[in-house]
Structure formats: C-alpha cells, structure tokens
Structure 1
C-alpha cells in the first residue's frame, strides 16, 4: 500500500554564481489539493511573493516507505501526526543540506528506519548526529508570516 504525503516547498538561489539552492518546507499534507492551497497562500507572503512561480513545487513522499520495516505495516495516521526522519549537515561554512529521508505513521517505525539510515555511508561521513526524528502535524501550513532577505 502506498500512502502519499505531499510536501509543499519553496526554493530559490541567492544568486547564479552559487551552486546551492535554498529550500523552505511549507508543510506536509494528506491531499494534493491542500498542498496546492498552501503554495497559493504562501506566494502572497513577504519574501515568497518575490519568487517566480517555478520556485514553488510539491514533493510526493510515501508513508512508511522503508523496506526495513517488514511486511505487516499499519498505515493509519492518528490525529494528523506522523514522524519524519530528517538529515541536516553542512556542505560548507555557508550552506546546509537538509530534508527528510522518510515519513512514518508511528514513532516506532521512524526509529526502526533511523537505525537503518545510520548505516548509510553519507551519514557516516557527515556524522550520525546529522540524523533525527521530528513529529509532523499534517495539513498545517508553515511559514505563515513570510520572510525578508538580508545580503552582505
């Protein structure tokens, strides 16, 4: 069974000389239409309103999508809460790579997946402390107040 979870994302490059793109998670949603609404509402906020339409996208994740969980998996989402296994490591002094490697319906599933992700070479290189688990509330938009940019 594949249960999609939709992540609304805004992204931009500070300038074309730098190879990195900044990403803003605008929330995780159980329905595509809710993610699309979050994008539309975010586009009018300070900072986000300066971005082109192609700076907004929706990433589809699949709940409990980790072979190391076993065969008999419960996909029930209780109280709109799921758990995300995140990564966050520095690429250099100015930029960090971060995101989610998996979304799970229970804390136990996310802990089992985290143990497996810790065997991946990339996380051994950057340090196992760059992995963790966060509770996520579905259908709740993030970045409701926008942002300002400050350049040196």
Structure 2
C-alpha cells in the first residue's frame, strides 16, 4: 500500500493523527520520519510578529508531487505526506509537515530530508514577514541552496 498526499491549507494540522493515517494498514512500514517546520520569532536580526505565506494554487501542489516522485525514484518509500500551511501565521505555529514511511529508517530519513530540501527551494511559495520596520518579503537563503546541491547527481 502506498499513500502520497499533498495538502495546502490555512488550518493547523495534528501531527499525531497525520502520522497515524500515513502508516495505517501497512504492516511493511518499519520507519516513519517526519519534519515539522515552525514560525520563528526572529529572522535576519529582526523580530517577526507574523509571517504570511502565499502560493500559486495548483502549481504548488504539482511541484510538490513531482518532488515526492523524485524521492520515490531514489528510495523505496511506501508513503509520503506534505502539508504546507498558507495565510498569516504567528511565531511557534506549525508551517509545514513532511513525513515519509519506508521499511527502514535510513531510507525514510534520506527521503524526508530530500523532500524538505527541494520544497524549500523549488516549490512556489512566497513569505512576507511583519517586523518592527514594516513588512518585508523573505528572500531565498544561501544555506537552502547549499542543502539542495548535495542531492544533485
């Protein structure tokens, strides 16, 4: 059994429920690896009161599905789930969940890291932060590009 799902939503998600659903009814699952990204209250030296995420509906989901498919071509993954929130978010709120199931932890860790690294640089999302100096768009980080480059063949 294989489950691949991408959801873009404003609502928060329940990590425990999502992981249970991802592994349900598959006795072959020996590993579940997940990553949850949250809103920080500080970025590039400025206090962040709120972050607003925008996306290109339809294109974003297809982009993430393509990233998951690349991971599934590299590792024997049973299931993969990406939930990415959009809209206004406050510090400490969950932004993204990437979860992967496989028979073994090594493959699950690698696939999960691959998906989040590609998601951070390749998926069409835009972030705007509210700081004491006003609103600002968040540029891509050099560290995200470096993380992505380790997967290039």
TM-score if structure 2 supplies the norm length?
A: 0.33
Would you tell me which structure has more helix in proportion to its own residues? 2
Bigger Rg, which one: 1
| Higher RCO (CA < 8 A, seq sep 6+) | 2
TM-score if structure 1 supplies the norm length?
A: 0.33
Would you tell me which structure has more strand in proportion to its own residues? 2
